[in-house]
Amino acid sequence: MSFSQCPVHETLLELKKIPADRRIVHPRGRRLIEEIATLVGDIVGARAGAEHLPCIDTRVAELCDFEDDPVSVEVGIWLKARLTEHDEVFRSHAANRNCAASVCDHLTPAPCQMACPAGIDVPTYVSLIALGHDDEAIEVIRRDNPLPWVCGLVCTRPCEMMCVRARIDTPVSIKFLKAFAAERAMSVGRYHNPRKTPTTGRKVCVVGAGPGGLSAAYYLALHGHAVRVIEALPRAGGMILVGIPRYRLPSDIIDREVAKIEELGVEFRFNTRFGKDVDLESLRAEGFEAFFFAVGAHASFNLGIDGENDFPQVHGAVDFLRRVALGERHCPGKNVVVIGGGNVAIDAARTCLRLGCEKVTIAYRRTRKEMPADHEEVEQAEEEGVHFEMLTVPMAVTGEGGHVGALRCLKAKLVTVPGSNRQSPKPIEGSDYDLVADAIVSAIGQRIERHWFDRMPDLAWTHRDTIRVNTVTMETSLPGVFAAGDSVTGPATVIEAIGGGKRAAIAIDRFLAGIPQPKLPPVPVRHQRPAYLDVPAHTKMTLKRPEMPLLSVDRRRTTFQQVELGYTENQTREEARRCLRCDICRRCGKCVTICKEKMGVDALALGYLSFDHPHESDFRYTERRCISCGACAANCPTGAMRIEDRGPERILSLCGTILSRQPLVFCATCDAVIGTERYLAFIRGRLGALVTPPPNADGPLCDVCARKKGFQGGATIMATS
C-alpha cells in the first residue's frame, strides 16, 4: 500500500462501478455486490461494528459459489483476493477506525495525533478533559502512553507544534492539560491500568528502566507476557530520573507511574548492569525468548582540551546530573562554568544554582540565536541568574595544586563557511582570556556506553554509534532482539522513546506468536469520537492560552521544587475548550468554497484551514453574514459543519463552535419551518424578478399553504416583514 491510496476506499469505488461495468444482470449477484458495497461503505464511514468484516466474508464466499453467474464468481474471487491481500488494512479501518492513507474522511487522525510519536488520541482526551472526565482522559492516553503524568511535565510536545489552533492564535496547551488530568486522576484514585490479556507463559527481558523500557514492559505485560526489567541504576526512570532535574520533574511522579506498571506484574531488578551482571546467554538460560534494549545514552562526550582530565572539578554534565538526581547535594564550586548551549547545559547550570553556586556561567561558542536549547528553558535560566558568555571557545582548563582556576577561552566571530549556509565560530587570534572558575561542567553531547555490548559482536551499529534497527518494528540485526530510545536515535525525546517502546512491544508480541512483521509504521488509533461541545464563536475566539504560573525566582534559585505550578481547574477546562476538533474537521475547505463561490455569501473566515498560507480566521464573522442556507453543512464530507433547528433558532456550528444562531420564521398557517429572515431575503433576491410575491397580510406562509391559497409560492418569494 502506498501513502496515497487506501485499498478500502478503492474497493468501495470499484464495487460501485462493478454492476454496470461488468454487466452483472443476475439479481442475486447484484444484490450481493450491493450489500458488500454497503458494508464497505460503513467501514469507510466509521459506522462499522465487529460483525461487518465477517459479514462481508460470508457474502464474498456466497458470491464465489454462485455458479449460475460466472461474472459474479469472477467478482467474488477478485474481492476475496483483495480482502486477503489487505486484511490488516481492512481490520485497521473496521476495528480501529484508522485510515493510514488519510483518504477515508471519517477515519483520519488529527494532526496532533499524527504528530505524537506515541500516537496518543489527543482530540479525544482533550474533549474529555473539557467535560471534566479526567479519569477517562487518562484511560485514553494510557492506551498509547503509559506515562501521561511524566509527559505532561517534560514532553517536547510535537502535538502542539502541529496544532491547527496555532494558525489562529496559539496552540492548545495539550501538554499541561495531560499533566492536570493525570494528577487529578491519581489524586482521586481513578488512575487505573487496563485489563490484561490472559498469561501467555512467554518471558521477555527489558534492559533499561527508562521511558522506552517502561513503555515496552507495560505493553508486553498487557499482552500477557512475563516481563523482567533489569536496570543498572538503583531506581526506575532512566534518563527521566537522572537526566531531567527534579525542578522539572519530581521523582515522586516517576515513582507513582512506575508503581502502576509494577502492578501489572512487571518484575524490576535494580543495580543490575547488562554486560556485567547478566548477559544475553545467561538470560536466555533463564528462559527469556525476546529482549528489548532501551539503555539510553548516558556517557558525556569529552571536550578534548588541555587540562580536562587533570582536575577532579571538571565534570561531564550527564554524570553530574545523575549524581544530583540520586541524592548528592554537594555544591560543585562557587564559580562554575558550564560549556555547551543545549538543554543539558541549561539543566546543569540551573542545577548548579540550586546547589548553592554563587555564579554560574554558560560558555557557548556561537550566539544566543544559534543555541539549540529550548528558548523557554534559556529564559528561565536567565531569570534565575545564569550568566551567558557567547562566542566563547574553550581552549584549556588551568589551575594549580589539583584545583581548577580558570577556563582559558578565545573569543570567536561567526563566519560563513563556503558550501554551507550555517555560520561557524572562528576564533579571533590574540583574543584569549581566562574565565575564572573553580568548577567546570562540560555539556557538549551524550553517547551510548557501547562497551557493555562487547559480548554481542553480531549486533549492528550505525556510524553514529547507535544500535541499528528497522524503525517499523525496532528489530535489531539479532533475531528476537529489539531496541528503541536514545540508544537507537541518539539523544532524543521522552515521547519518542515511549513510542519506540510501544512499537517494539507490538513487534515482540508478533515475534513470539510467529506472525510476520508489518512493513509500514503503525498509524495512530482513534479510540473514540466524543460528542461536540457547544462553544459560542465569541468564546472560542476570546479564550486565550493561560500563562503557566511559576515558582518565585527566589525559591527557584534555592530549592529543587517544581518550577511550573500547573493550571487551575478552571483554566484547564477552558483551555480544553479551545480545541478545534481536527479529528472531525479535515480542513478540506469545501465549506468555504461552497459559501463563497457557489452561494456568493462568503460568510466563513476560516483562514486557518490552509497549512501553507494561513490567513485571518474569525469564527465571529459568520454571524454577521451567514444566511443559514446550510450549503456548507450539506457539502461537508465529515459532518464537522452542521446546521440544525433547535427550538425557535437555526444554528450553524463547526465541530461545536456555534458560528451562527438565527431566529426561524414559521408558517402562519401550519407552523412549518420556512427558514430564517436572511435566507428568505436571499431567495427573494434570486427569484424576485421571476415571480410576483403574494400579499402578506396573514403572515408568512410555507409553499404548501401558499399554493393551497392559490399563490405561486410561499414565504420564499413573499415579503415577510
Partner 1 sequence: MAFHKGQMVRVLRRSTDESWEDYMDGLVGSRGIVTDPDSQINDPDALIEVSLEDKGTYRLPQDCLELLEPTS
Residues in touch with partner 1 (CB under 8 A): 2-4, 102, 108, 111, 114-117, 119, 156, 158, 161-162, 340-344, 370, 372-374, 420-422, 443-446, 462-464, 468, 470-472, 489-493, 496, 519-521, 523-524, 611-612
The residue count of the chain comes to 721
Shortest Cβ 660–partner 1 spacing (Å): 30
Q: Which is nearer to partner 1, 211 or 656 (CB)?
A: 211
Q: Which is nearer to partner 1, 199 or 470 (CB)?
A: 470
Rounded to whole angstroms, the Cα distance separating 142 from 166 reads 26
Contact 395, 403 (CB under 8 A): no
In this structure, the dihedral spanned by the alpha carbons of residues 467, 470, 475 and 477, taken in order and rounded to 10 degrees, is -60
Q: Which is nearer to partner 1, 270 or 611 (CB)?
A: 611
The SS3 call for residue 176 is helix
Rounded to whole angstroms, the Cα distance separating 172 from 357 reads 37
Rounded to the nearest 10 degrees, what angle do helices 27-44 and 7-21 cross at? 160
Sequence-ordered list of residues with C-beta below 8 angstroms from that of 281, at least 6 positions apart, any chain: none
The SS3 call for residue 659 is strand
Shortest Cβ 83–partner 1 spacing (Å): 23
Sequence-ordered list of residues with C-beta below 8 angstroms from that of 640, at least 6 positions apart, any chain: 581, 584, 585, 586, 654, 655
Q: Which is nearer to partner 1, 21 or 612 (CB)?
A: 612
Shortest Cβ 647–partner 1 spacing (Å): 39
Contact 649, 664 (CB under 8 A): yes
Shortest Cβ 343–partner 1 spacing (Å): 5
Shortest Cβ 104–partner 1 spacing (Å): 13
Q: Which is nearer to partner 1, 287 or 521 (CB)?
A: 521
Q: Which is nearer to partner 1, 227 or 305 (CB)?
A: 305
Q: Which is nearer to partner 1, 471 or 568 (CB)?
A: 471
Q: Which is nearer to partner 1, 524 or 713 (CB)?
A: 524
Q: Which is nearer to partner 1, 344 or 406 (CB)?
A: 344
Shortest Cβ 491–partner 1 spacing (Å): 6
Q: Which is nearer to partner 1, 226 or 344 (CB)?
A: 344
Shortest Cβ 493–partner 1 spacing (Å): 5
CA distances from residue 125 to 129, 583, 666 in whole angstroms, order as listed: 6, 12, 41
The type of residue at 151 is C
Rounded to whole angstroms, the Cα distance separating 527 from 121 reads 7
Q: Which is nearer to partner 1, 489 or 638 (CB)?
A: 489
Containing H/E element for 148?
helix 148-154
Containing H/E element for 540?
helix 537-542
Sequence-ordered list of residues with C-beta below 8 angstroms from that of 535, at least 6 positions apart, any chain: 577, 656, 657, 658
How many CB atoms lie under 10 A from the CB of residue 384? 19
Q: Which is nearer to partner 1, 223 or 503 (CB)?
A: 503
CA distances from residue 373 to 89, 166, 343, 381 in whole angstroms, order as listed: 40, 22, 4, 11
How many CB atoms lie under 10 A from the CB of residue 271? 11
Containing H/E element for 457?
none
β-pairing, 290-293 vs 203-207, is parallel
Q: Which is nearer to partner 1, 5 or 282 (CB)?
A: 5
Shortest Cβ 210–partner 1 spacing (Å): 17
Task: Please name every residue paired with 229 in a beta bridge, in sequence order, or none if there are none.
Answer: 206, 268
Shortest Cβ 332–partner 1 spacing (Å): 20
Task: Please name every residue paired with 618 in a beta bridge, in sequence order, or none if there are none.
Answer: 605
Sequence-ordered list of residues with C-beta below 8 angstroms from that of 554, at least 6 positions apart, any chain: none
Shortest Cβ 329–partner 1 spacing (Å): 26
Rounded to whole angstroms, the Cα distance separating 567 from 556 reads 18
DSSP state of 595: I
Containing H/E element for 395?
strand 392-400
Q: Which is nearer to partner 1, 62 or 308 (CB)?
A: 308
The type of residue at 536 is P
Containing H/E element for 695?
none
